[in-house]
Amino acid sequence: MDMRHHIPPLAALNAFVAYARTGGIRRAAVALGVDHAVVSRHLRDLENALGVALRDRSIGGLTPEGHEYHARIAPLLDGLARATADMRGQRPHLTLTCSHGIAYHWLLPRLASFRQLYPGVDLMLRPVDSDCRFNPDPIDTVLHADIRYIHDEADTPLPPRICARPVARPPVFPVASPACLHRLAHPLRQAADLLHAPLLIEDNDTEWRLWFRAQSVNVTHVTGCNRLWQAHLALAAARAGEGIALANAYLLEDDLLAGRLVRVSATDVALREVSLGAYVLRATKQAWQARPMVMLRTWLETQFDTDSAEAVTSSHH
């Protein structure tokens, strides 16, 4: 007997996968662009056709049978959507979100090489300030990846259904304009002297405190001359001569080469090389193995590996 005659309607399967991935009937309806009553009817019809309960109506979510069914059919529906898009000649859409600093100063100048290497992928770079929220959509043809700088001491558990991989761990060091260093009242002999210098702080003083701790200078609070919202704003203030900022070479290699910013040093006790965190690439598990995402992952790792030695070298100039 041909079992294909017993496959439930595609609309019901899409509604079930949308419900499983979004965690709610109304959210699934939004993802599918239909009324929530339509999703409810599809789910009810699917359960009747299968003869099993897929939803746990007492606590919400899926039953064990629902989890098993979702795990088996979701990849098949994703593959069907991709095959259909390929036959229609649609280029896969890939959105890469990241902070403004890494977007403007490192990624943007290199995107041309990705597009030349993978002309079949429609990549959109989207700088965002806050941490992204992944919302898997079973019928969305847009794949989403995110690059985020995460401190080593950040106690942030990985969200469910998310894959992550560190792609770079750059050293962090203080930088300032030559004019700013010239205006310092006293020469910098050791790391602790920086506490009396005009420090540029981002949203909070966490990174400065961690950097000072790595220099064996324990402080509970770092007072800055200015508080800036983001790393690229702190670097803009540093270029304007307003103070000393913490950064890494991925955010300012051009500034170091051009001499707009210089790496701050101490005369008596050398400042230690410090790494406080890593740039981490993240995506949903369903997107992680998609061909365009594999292309992006491979390209990013190659770019970071190629540039890491040059970035560290330029930071010492």
The answer to whether residue 303 is domain-embedded is: yes
Predicted TM-score of the model (pTM) = 0.66
Contact 277, 154 (CB under 8 A): yes
In three-state secondary structure terms, 79 is: helix
The answer to whether residue 222 is domain-embedded is: yes
Confidence of residue 158 (pLDDT cuts 50, 70, 90): confident
Residues 111 and 65 in one domain: no
Mean pLDDT, rounded, for 136-148? 69
Count of domains in the chain? 3
Alpha helices for 23-107 (secondary structure H):
25-32, 36-50, 64-87, 100-102
The answer to whether residue 108 is domain-embedded is: yes
The answer to whether residue 306 is domain-embedded is: yes
More confidently predicted of 313 and 205 = 205
Q: Return d(Cα 31, Cα 15) in angstroms, integer.
A: 9
Range of the domain at 140: 93-170+277-315
Return mean pLDDT, the chain: 83
pLDDT at 317 > cutoff 50: no
Per DSSP (E only), the strands in 169-209 are 173-176, 200-201
Domain-terminating residue out of 87, 121, 141: 87
**In the block, which residue shows the tokens 């506490």?**
195
Contact 94, 293 (CB under 8 A): yes
Confidence of residue 287 (pLDDT cuts 50, 70, 90): confident
Determine the pLDDT at residue 180: 92
The answer to whether residue 272 is domain-embedded is: no
Full 3-state SS string of 127-158: ECCCCCCCCCCCCCCEEEEEEEEEECCCCCCC
Residues 69 and 215 in one domain: no
Contact 222, 205 (CB under 8 A): yes
Q: Return d(Cα 23, Cα 17) in angstroms, integer.
A: 10
Q: What is the DSSP letter of 306?
A: H
CATH number at residue 41: 1.10.10.10
